[in-house]
Amino acid sequence: MKTKRKITKKKDGSWDTADLYRGGRNPFNIEWVKYYNSVEGRDQIIFLYSDKQTKKIIKHRILR
């Protein structure tokens, strides 16, 4: 398995890993809220997906 770009050393001796951990492809900011649901008697985690430009919530997902 080949990587798309090689990891190279910078002039100061540190490794350039910007290509490996580039996370700019996701169009959403993801936030989560822990919520206690008294009807079910347990905690739920709600993921909120908001637009990076307008900061409005686009969708949500509930982890049960």
* Residue 2 pLDDT > 80: no
pLDDT in tens, 14-23: 776 665 555 5
Beta 15-16 vs 57-63: how paired, if at all?
Answer: unpaired
Identify the pLDDT of residue 4. Answer: 59
- pTM for this prediction: 0.57
pLDDT in tens, 26-49: 788 999 999 999 999 999 999 999
5 closest CA partner among 17, 13, 15: 17
Is there a domain that residue 62 lies in?
A: yes
Q: How many domains does the chain have?
A: 1
User: What is the Cα–Cα distance from 39 to 24, expressed in whole angstroms?
Assistant: 38
Are 4 and 21 in contact by the 8 Å Cβ rule? The answer is no
Domain of 45, in residue numbers:
27-64
Is there a domain that residue 49 lies in?
A: yes
Is there a domain that residue 35 lies in?
A: yes
Is there a domain that residue 63 lies in?
A: yes
Alpha-helical (H) ranges within the chain are: none
Are 50 and 58 in contact by the 8 Å Cβ rule? The answer is yes
Is there a domain that residue 42 lies in?
A: yes
